[in-house]
Amino acid sequence: MEHTISVTSQAERKVTDTKSLPFGKIPTEHMFIAEYKNGEWQNAQVVPFHDLTLSPLALCLHYGQTVFEGMKAFMMEDGHINIFRADKHYDRFTKSLHRMCMPQVPEKLFIDAIKQLVLLDADWVPKEADGSLYIRPFMIATEDRIGVKVSDEYLFMVVCSPAFQYYAKPLKVKVETNFVRAAEGGTGSAKCGGNYGGAFYPTQLAREAGYDQVLWTDSVHNEFIEESGTMNAMFFIDNVLVTPQLSGTILDGVTRDSLLAIAEAKGMTIEVRQISYAELITAFEAGKRVEAFGAGTAAVVAPIEIIAIGHKEYKCYIEPDAMMYQLQKELFNIRRGLTADTFKWNYVI
Ligand SMILES: Cc1ncc(COP(=O)(O)O)c(C=O)c1O
């Protein structure tokens, strides 16, 4: 079924200084909202950004039926706006919704909603090379009923916020062997709200101990590296790119996938496989060059400087000639239209 999106615009832009504000603090002037009722999507609208009215009984407030995506629009060199890998984000959104028993959003509605919103708020897409417009599509269960059940009603929304550098400096991470983020068969590969709420406490403990993030390990052995915060974990060990394989417990990161494709095209040696923290210790102790970094839409390539394993801290290679920066630069160039988009990742609007 075709959905018509009505657009009500608000004339003036109120905020101009966005660079100095923390990530995600300032929404653009407009948002997209659609309602799911009686088994179908209706009232699809781009409207001025506004607060919601929800019943305290709304199911999303109690049982965690919420799913989101995180993607970015970039200002290209030629002045066009590029929504990076919109189709892959849609696919992941669809999988997350399926896992959480939530209704699918037709691809055309998802893409059109984002396109119309970004076009209307186009002057919010930063022109600075280190800037982008972060796009947050999300869905919440809105049926008002306090019993534990799959909701019959939902809101699908999209909001945007300008984004600049996510981490100001290289990260210090701690390998987490007590708490787990996700177990096989759980919801780790879905981008659902509960995964993030459950990660706060261990991350808070790591912060109190002087680290920026935890590096999660698997739930069975607490040995194999999974991911970190909102990033996939990647390593160059003696110039071989190593990253954990996708399983049910880590997110299928769009940045991870993009960096792997770029690395392959560059002829780099890649190993997608389990990697234990013991292997990292062996590499550090053998004096191998170990690069470690987080890959994610918000932080892009976040170099890791220190990995704490048990009571010992290991120093990773973060000098300017590190291999990870080659991948970062190529990704940057593709998104900005400075290099040919041979992978067909750019959705130019
Ligand atoms: C848990 C988790 N892992 C990895 C990622 C990286 O995924 P992407 O590159 O698609 O942003 C994210 C961010 O979305 C995340 O939340």
**Residues 233 and 120 both lie in one domain:** no
Q: Whose CA is nearest to atom 15 of ligand 1?
A: 230
222: left (phi over 0), alpha (psi -120 to 50) or beta: left
142 lines ligand 1 (CB under 6 A): no
308: in domain:
yes
* Ligand 1 atom nearest 257 alpha carbon: 9
**Residues 83 and 139 both lie in one domain:** yes
Question: Tens digits of per-residue pLDDT, 278-309?
Answer: 999 999 999 999 999 999 998 889 999 999 99
118: in domain:
yes
* Ligand 1 atom nearest 232 alpha carbon: 4
Q: Which residues pair with 216 in a beta bridge?
A: 176
**Residues 44 and 117 both lie in one domain:** yes
Question: Tens digits of per-residue pLDDT, 173-196?
Answer: 999 999 999 999 999 999 999 999
70 lines ligand 1 (CB under 6 A): yes
348: in domain:
no
Q: Which two tokens stand for residue 341?
A: 């988009």
* Ligand 1 atom nearest 92 alpha carbon: 10
345: in domain:
no
151 lines ligand 1 (CB under 6 A): no
**Residues 180 and 152 both lie in one domain:** no
Range of the domain at 189: 171-336
18 lines ligand 1 (CB under 6 A): no
165, 188, 221 - which closes a domain: 165
Q: Please, which residues have CB within 8 angstroms of residue 41's CB and are 6 or more apart in sequence?
A: 3, 34, 35, 103, 105, 106, 109, 156
**Residues 78 and 108 both lie in one domain:** yes
Could you give the 3-state DSSP secondary structure of residue 326? helix
**Residues 149 and 212 both lie in one domain:** no
- Percent of the chain residues topping a pLDDT of 90: 89
**Residues 321 and 227 both lie in one domain:** yes
Cα 162 to middle of ligand 1, angstroms = 18
* Ligand 1 atom nearest 229 alpha carbon: 1
Q: Whose CA is nearest to atom 1 of ligand 1?
A: 230
**Residues 208 and 91 both lie in one domain:** no
Report the pLDDT value the prediction gives residue 70, as an integer from 0 to 100.
Answer: 97
Report the pLDDT value the prediction gives residue 11, as an integer from 0 to 100.
Answer: 66
Cα 266 to middle of ligand 1, angstroms = 23
Neighbours of 39 (CB within 10 A): 7
**Residues 103 and 201 both lie in one domain:** no
Q: Strand 81-84 vs strand 346-348: parallel, antiparallel, or unpaired?
A: antiparallel
165, 199, 232 - which closes a domain: 165
193 lines ligand 1 (CB under 6 A): no
The CATH code of the domain that includes 264 is: 3.20.10.10
Say whether pLDDT at 330 is over 70. Answer: yes
> What ranges in the chain are assigned the alpha helix state H?
60-63, 86-99, 107-120, 193-208, 254-265, 277-285, 323-336
Return the minimum-mean-pLDDT range out of 18-22, 112-116, 199-203, 317-321. Answer: 18-22
**Residues 127 and 202 both lie in one domain:** no
344: in domain:
no
165, 193, 211 - which closes a domain: 165
308 lines ligand 1 (CB under 6 A): no
Q: Considering the entire predicted model, what is its pTM?
A: 0.95
Q: What is the mean pLDDT of the segment spanning 338-343?
A: 96
**Residues 134 and 205 both lie in one domain:** no
Number of domains forming the structure of the chain: 2
What burial letters (b/e) apply to 313-345, b meaning 16+ CB within 10 Å? ebebbbeeebbbbbbbebbbebbbbeeebeeeb
12: in domain:
yes
The CATH code of the domain that includes 144 is: 3.30.470.10
349: in domain:
no
| Phi–psi pair at 180, nearest 5 degrees | -120, 150
**Residues 124 and 209 both lie in one domain:** no
Return the minimum-mean-pLDDT range out of 22-26, 78-82, 287-291. Answer: 22-26
* Ligand 1 atom nearest 70 alpha carbon: 14
